[in-house]
Structure 1
Protein backbone atom coordinates (compact mmCIF):
# COMPACT_ATOMS: atom_id res chain seq x y z
CA UNK A 1 0.00 0.00 0.00
CA UNK A 2 1.38 3.36 -1.04
CA UNK A 3 1.62 6.22 1.46
CA UNK A 4 2.17 8.78 -1.27
CA UNK A 5 0.59 12.12 -0.35
CA UNK A 6 -2.02 13.38 -2.80
CA UNK A 7 -1.87 17.10 -3.41
CA UNK A 8 -4.16 19.36 -5.36
CA UNK A 9 -2.96 20.19 -8.85
CA UNK A 10 -1.02 23.42 -9.16
CA UNK A 11 -2.97 26.15 -10.89
CA UNK A 12 -1.03 28.07 -13.51
CA UNK A 13 -3.08 30.40 -15.66
CA UNK A 14 -1.02 33.50 -15.03
CA UNK A 15 -2.33 34.69 -11.64
CA UNK A 16 -0.12 34.09 -8.63
CA UNK A 17 -1.47 32.27 -5.59
CA UNK A 18 -1.07 35.46 -3.54
CA UNK A 19 -3.11 37.49 -6.04
CA UNK A 20 -5.75 34.76 -6.34
CA UNK A 21 -6.10 34.79 -2.57
CA UNK A 22 -6.69 38.57 -2.51
CA UNK A 23 -9.20 38.34 -5.35
CA UNK A 24 -11.03 35.45 -3.69
CA UNK A 25 -11.26 37.42 -0.45
CA UNK A 26 -12.86 40.35 -2.29
CA UNK A 27 -15.17 38.10 -4.28
CA UNK A 28 -16.24 36.37 -1.06
CA UNK A 29 -17.37 39.75 0.28
CA UNK A 30 -19.16 40.41 -3.02
CA UNK A 31 -20.87 37.03 -2.82
CA UNK A 32 -22.02 37.71 0.75
CA UNK A 33 -23.30 41.17 -0.19
CA UNK A 34 -25.11 39.81 -3.25
CA UNK A 35 -26.73 36.98 -1.33
CA UNK A 36 -27.74 39.24 1.55
CA UNK A 37 -29.25 41.77 -0.86
CA UNK A 38 -31.03 38.93 -2.68
CA UNK A 39 -32.57 37.74 0.59
CA UNK A 40 -33.61 41.27 1.63
CA UNK A 41 -35.10 42.01 -1.80
CA UNK A 42 -37.03 38.73 -1.83
CA UNK A 43 -38.34 39.42 1.68
CA UNK A 44 -39.51 42.87 0.62
CA UNK A 45 -41.15 41.39 -2.50
CA UNK A 46 -43.21 39.12 -0.26
CA UNK A 47 -44.11 41.77 2.30
CA UNK A 48 -44.50 45.09 0.49
CA UNK A 49 -47.86 46.82 0.90
CA UNK A 50 -49.42 50.15 0.02
CA UNK A 51 -50.40 52.12 -3.06
CA UNK A 52 -47.25 51.12 -4.97
CA UNK A 53 -47.69 47.42 -4.19
CA UNK A 54 -47.94 46.13 -7.77
CA UNK A 55 -45.06 48.26 -9.07
CA UNK A 56 -42.74 47.38 -6.20
CA UNK A 57 -43.75 43.72 -6.05
CA UNK A 58 -42.80 43.28 -9.71
CA UNK A 59 -39.70 45.47 -9.53
CA UNK A 60 -38.37 43.60 -6.50
CA UNK A 61 -39.05 40.27 -8.24
CA UNK A 62 -36.97 41.31 -11.25
CA UNK A 63 -34.16 42.38 -8.98
CA UNK A 64 -34.08 39.30 -6.76
CA UNK A 65 -34.20 36.99 -9.80
CA UNK A 66 -31.19 38.77 -11.29
CA UNK A 67 -29.36 38.66 -7.95
CA UNK A 68 -30.05 34.93 -7.62
CA UNK A 69 -28.29 34.31 -10.93
CA UNK A 70 -25.44 36.63 -9.94
CA UNK A 71 -24.78 34.66 -6.75
CA UNK A 72 -23.93 31.64 -8.90
CA UNK A 73 -21.64 33.64 -11.20
CA UNK A 74 -19.65 35.07 -8.30
CA UNK A 75 -19.41 31.72 -6.48
CA UNK A 76 -18.28 29.94 -9.65
CA UNK A 77 -15.59 32.59 -10.25
CA UNK A 78 -14.29 31.93 -6.73
CA UNK A 79 -14.22 28.20 -7.53
CA UNK A 80 -12.44 28.90 -10.83
CA UNK A 81 -9.74 30.64 -8.83
CA UNK A 82 -9.24 27.46 -6.79
CA UNK A 83 -10.97 28.34 -3.54
CA UNK A 84 -14.15 27.17 -1.84
CA UNK A 85 -17.00 29.67 -2.02
CA UNK A 86 -18.58 30.72 1.26
CA UNK A 87 -22.12 29.42 1.46
CA UNK A 88 -23.59 29.59 4.95
CA UNK A 89 -25.62 32.28 6.68
CA UNK A 90 -22.86 32.55 9.27
CA UNK A 91 -20.19 33.13 6.64
CA UNK A 92 -22.34 35.62 4.77
CA UNK A 93 -23.19 37.52 7.97
CA UNK A 94 -19.48 37.82 8.79
CA UNK A 95 -18.57 39.02 5.28
CA UNK A 96 -21.43 41.30 4.24
CA UNK A 97 -21.53 45.09 4.45
CA UNK A 98 -25.34 45.13 4.15
CA UNK A 99 -27.29 45.79 7.33
CA UNK A 100 -30.20 43.55 8.26
CA UNK A 101 -33.63 45.15 8.47
CA UNK A 102 -35.17 45.65 11.86
CA UNK A 103 -38.81 44.69 11.78
CA UNK A 104 -40.79 45.08 8.61
CA UNK A 105 -40.28 48.53 7.06
CA UNK A 106 -42.94 50.37 5.09
CA UNK A 107 -42.64 50.54 1.29
CA UNK A 108 -40.69 53.80 1.23
CA UNK A 109 -38.20 52.51 3.80
CA UNK A 110 -37.88 49.26 1.82
CA UNK A 111 -36.88 51.33 -1.20
CA UNK A 112 -34.33 53.30 0.88
CA UNK A 113 -32.82 50.09 2.27
CA UNK A 114 -32.58 48.56 -1.19
CA UNK A 115 -30.88 51.71 -2.54
CA UNK A 116 -28.32 51.37 0.27
CA UNK A 117 -27.91 47.65 -0.51
CA UNK A 118 -27.46 48.19 -4.23
CA UNK A 119 -24.88 50.90 -3.56
CA UNK A 120 -23.07 48.67 -1.03
CA UNK A 121 -22.72 45.85 -3.58
CA UNK A 122 -21.44 48.31 -6.19
CA UNK A 123 -18.86 49.64 -3.70
CA UNK A 124 -17.70 46.12 -2.85
CA UNK A 125 -17.31 45.25 -6.54
CA UNK A 126 -15.45 48.51 -7.14
CA UNK A 127 -13.07 47.80 -4.24
CA UNK A 128 -12.13 44.40 -5.71
CA UNK A 129 -11.64 45.73 -9.24
CA UNK A 130 -8.13 47.27 -8.80
CA UNK A 131 -6.91 44.06 -7.14
CA UNK A 132 -8.15 41.96 -10.07
CA UNK A 133 -6.91 44.51 -12.60
CA UNK A 134 -3.42 44.58 -11.08
CA UNK A 135 -3.32 40.76 -11.23
CA UNK A 136 -4.30 40.87 -14.92
CA UNK A 137 -7.49 38.91 -14.11
CA UNK A 138 -9.74 40.00 -16.96
CA UNK A 139 -12.54 37.48 -16.27
CA UNK A 140 -12.96 38.83 -12.74
CA UNK A 141 -12.72 42.42 -14.00
CA UNK A 142 -15.45 41.66 -16.53
CA UNK A 143 -17.68 40.13 -13.85
CA UNK A 144 -17.09 43.10 -11.53
CA UNK A 145 -17.85 45.62 -14.29
CA UNK A 146 -21.15 43.89 -15.02
CA UNK A 147 -22.07 43.79 -11.33
CA UNK A 148 -21.27 47.49 -10.85
CA UNK A 149 -23.31 48.44 -13.90
CA UNK A 150 -26.37 46.47 -12.74
CA UNK A 151 -26.27 47.63 -9.12
CA UNK A 152 -25.68 51.28 -10.02
CA UNK A 153 -28.63 51.17 -12.44
CA UNK A 154 -30.86 49.47 -9.85
CA UNK A 155 -29.91 52.09 -7.24
CA UNK A 156 -30.81 54.87 -9.67
CA UNK A 157 -34.16 53.28 -10.51
CA UNK A 158 -35.04 52.76 -6.85
CA UNK A 159 -33.81 56.23 -5.88
CA UNK A 160 -36.07 57.78 -8.53
CA UNK A 161 -39.07 56.34 -6.67
CA UNK A 162 -38.15 58.40 -3.60
CA UNK A 163 -38.29 61.74 -5.42
CA UNK A 164 -41.27 63.95 -4.68
Structure 2
Protein backbone atom coordinates (compact mmCIF):
# COMPACT_ATOMS: atom_id res chain seq x y z
CA UNK A 1 0.00 0.00 0.00
CA UNK A 2 1.37 3.38 -0.99
CA UNK A 3 1.98 5.87 1.73
CA UNK A 4 -0.24 8.93 1.38
CA UNK A 5 1.63 12.14 1.91
CA UNK A 6 -0.34 14.62 3.95
CA UNK A 7 0.04 18.13 2.64
CA UNK A 8 -0.69 21.30 4.48
CA UNK A 9 -1.23 24.66 2.94
CA UNK A 10 1.87 26.68 3.67
CA UNK A 11 1.83 30.39 3.15
CA UNK A 12 4.76 32.18 1.67
CA UNK A 13 4.69 35.74 2.84
CA UNK A 14 7.36 37.43 0.77
CA UNK A 15 5.92 38.85 -2.42
CA UNK A 16 2.60 37.19 -1.69
CA UNK A 17 -0.94 38.29 -2.30
CA UNK A 18 -1.08 39.27 1.38
CA UNK A 19 1.85 41.63 0.97
CA UNK A 20 0.35 43.12 -2.20
CA UNK A 21 -2.93 43.71 -0.38
CA UNK A 22 -1.13 45.29 2.58
CA UNK A 23 0.85 47.54 0.23
CA UNK A 24 -2.46 48.76 -1.22
CA UNK A 25 -3.90 49.51 2.23
CA UNK A 26 -0.68 51.29 3.22
CA UNK A 27 -0.77 53.45 0.06
CA UNK A 28 -4.46 54.24 0.59
CA UNK A 29 -3.82 55.14 4.22
CA UNK A 30 -0.90 57.39 3.35
CA UNK A 31 -2.88 59.17 0.64
CA UNK A 32 -5.84 59.59 2.97
CA UNK A 33 -3.55 60.95 5.67
CA UNK A 34 -2.26 63.58 3.23
CA UNK A 35 -5.75 64.51 2.07
CA UNK A 36 -6.94 64.80 5.67
CA UNK A 37 -3.97 67.02 6.47
CA UNK A 38 -4.86 69.33 3.56
CA UNK A 39 -8.40 69.60 4.91
CA UNK A 40 -7.05 70.31 8.40
CA UNK A 41 -4.91 73.16 7.07
CA UNK A 42 -7.51 74.72 4.78
CA UNK A 43 -10.87 74.31 6.50
CA UNK A 44 -12.72 77.60 7.03
CA UNK A 45 -16.04 78.86 8.26
CA UNK A 46 -18.28 78.47 11.28
CA UNK A 47 -17.33 74.80 11.74
CA UNK A 48 -13.61 75.54 11.63
CA UNK A 49 -12.77 74.58 15.21
CA UNK A 50 -14.71 71.31 15.22
CA UNK A 51 -13.41 70.15 11.83
CA UNK A 52 -9.86 71.39 12.38
CA UNK A 53 -9.69 69.25 15.53
CA UNK A 54 -11.46 66.25 13.98
CA UNK A 55 -9.17 66.27 10.95
CA UNK A 56 -6.12 66.48 13.19
CA UNK A 57 -7.30 63.47 15.19
CA UNK A 58 -7.89 61.56 11.96
CA UNK A 59 -4.52 62.27 10.32
CA UNK A 60 -2.71 61.54 13.58
CA UNK A 61 -4.44 58.14 13.81
CA UNK A 62 -3.58 57.46 10.16
CA UNK A 63 0.09 58.30 10.75
CA UNK A 64 0.29 55.60 13.41
CA UNK A 65 -1.59 53.16 11.18
CA UNK A 66 0.76 53.74 8.23
CA UNK A 67 3.74 52.92 10.41
CA UNK A 68 2.09 49.74 11.72
CA UNK A 69 1.15 48.65 8.19
CA UNK A 70 4.70 49.18 6.94
CA UNK A 71 6.08 47.26 9.90
CA UNK A 72 3.68 44.37 9.21
CA UNK A 73 4.90 44.24 5.62
CA UNK A 74 8.49 44.11 6.89
CA UNK A 75 7.54 41.39 9.39
CA UNK A 76 6.37 39.37 6.38
CA UNK A 77 9.90 39.75 4.97
CA UNK A 78 8.90 42.15 2.22
CA UNK A 79 9.61 45.83 1.61
CA UNK A 80 7.11 48.59 2.30
CA UNK A 81 6.36 50.98 -0.56
CA UNK A 82 7.55 54.55 -0.23
CA UNK A 83 7.92 57.83 -2.01
CA UNK A 84 5.06 60.25 -2.49
CA UNK A 85 4.70 59.66 -6.23
CA UNK A 86 4.82 55.88 -5.83
CA UNK A 87 2.27 55.86 -3.00
CA UNK A 88 -0.03 58.28 -4.84
CA UNK A 89 0.09 56.14 -7.96
CA UNK A 90 -0.65 52.98 -6.00
CA UNK A 91 -3.50 54.59 -4.04
CA UNK A 92 -5.06 56.30 -7.09
CA UNK A 93 -7.15 58.63 -4.93
CA UNK A 94 -8.51 61.86 -6.37
CA UNK A 95 -7.04 64.87 -4.58
CA UNK A 96 -9.21 67.58 -3.13
CA UNK A 97 -8.67 71.17 -4.28
CA UNK A 98 -6.95 73.36 -1.69
CA UNK A 99 -9.83 75.83 -1.61
CA UNK A 100 -13.15 74.10 -1.09
CA UNK A 101 -16.07 74.15 1.32
CA UNK A 102 -16.00 72.27 4.59
CA UNK A 103 -18.95 70.13 3.45
CA UNK A 104 -17.04 69.15 0.30
CA UNK A 105 -14.02 68.27 2.43
CA UNK A 106 -16.11 66.01 4.63
CA UNK A 107 -17.81 64.31 1.64
CA UNK A 108 -14.44 63.84 -0.05
CA UNK A 109 -12.82 62.27 2.99
CA UNK A 110 -15.83 59.99 3.56
CA UNK A 111 -15.43 58.72 0.01
CA UNK A 112 -11.71 58.07 0.49
CA UNK A 113 -12.39 56.18 3.71
CA UNK A 114 -14.94 54.08 1.81
CA UNK A 115 -12.31 53.17 -0.81
CA UNK A 116 -9.88 52.26 1.93
CA UNK A 117 -12.51 50.05 3.58
CA UNK A 118 -12.95 48.11 0.32
CA UNK A 119 -9.21 47.57 0.01
CA UNK A 120 -8.88 46.61 3.69
CA UNK A 121 -11.72 44.09 3.28
CA UNK A 122 -9.88 42.60 0.30
CA UNK A 123 -6.68 42.44 2.38
CA UNK A 124 -8.56 40.82 5.27
CA UNK A 125 -10.03 38.18 2.98
CA UNK A 126 -6.65 37.55 1.31
CA UNK A 127 -5.02 37.14 4.71
CA UNK A 128 -7.77 34.74 5.79
CA UNK A 129 -7.22 32.62 2.67
CA UNK A 130 -3.49 32.54 3.44
CA UNK A 131 -4.14 31.61 7.08
CA UNK A 132 -2.35 34.79 8.18
CA UNK A 133 -4.38 35.48 11.32
CA UNK A 134 -2.21 38.41 12.40
CA UNK A 135 -2.76 40.35 9.19
CA UNK A 136 -6.42 39.38 9.16
CA UNK A 137 -6.79 40.75 12.69
CA UNK A 138 -4.96 43.94 11.75
CA UNK A 139 -7.30 44.49 8.80
CA UNK A 140 -10.39 43.89 10.93
CA UNK A 141 -9.19 46.61 13.30
CA UNK A 142 -8.48 49.01 10.41
CA UNK A 143 -11.92 48.36 8.89
CA UNK A 144 -13.55 49.20 12.23
CA UNK A 145 -11.65 52.50 12.46
CA UNK A 146 -12.63 53.54 8.94
CA UNK A 147 -16.27 52.48 9.30
CA UNK A 148 -16.54 54.59 12.45
CA UNK A 149 -14.92 57.55 10.71
CA UNK A 150 -17.30 57.28 7.73
CA UNK A 151 -20.22 57.20 10.15
CA UNK A 152 -18.96 60.32 11.94
CA UNK A 153 -18.28 62.23 8.72
CA UNK A 154 -21.73 61.36 7.35
CA UNK A 155 -23.36 62.33 10.67
CA UNK A 156 -21.66 65.73 10.41
CA UNK A 157 -23.22 66.28 6.98
CA UNK A 158 -26.73 65.73 8.36
CA UNK A 159 -26.49 68.85 10.53
Asked if TM exceeds 0.5, the reply is yes
The residue number in structure 1 matching 2:108 is 113
Normalization by structure 1: what TM-score?
0.87
The Cα offsets for residues 14-44 of structure 1, whole Å up to 9 and x where unpaired, read as 8522786101101111000000000110111
Stretches of structure 2 lacking an aligned partner (at least 5 in a row): 1-8
Q: Is this contact kept in 2: 1:23–1:132, CA < 8 A?
A: yes
Change (3 A) 1:31 1:54: same
Match of 1:17, SS? coil
The 5 Å alignment of 1:11-160 reads 15-17=10-12, 21-160=16-155
Residue 102 (structure 1) shift: 3.2
Q: Is this contact kept in 1: 2:29–2:116, CA < 8 A?
A: yes
Distance in 1 (alpha carbons) for counterparts of 2:43 and 2:56: 11
Deviation >4 Å, runs of 4+: none
Residue 145 (structure 1) shift: 0.4
Q: Provide the alpha-carbon RMSD of the alignment.
A: 1.6
Residue 98 (structure 1) shift: 2.1
Normalization by structure 2: what TM-score?
0.90
Stretches of structure 1 lacking an aligned partner (at least 5 in a row): 1-13
How many residues are paired up? 151
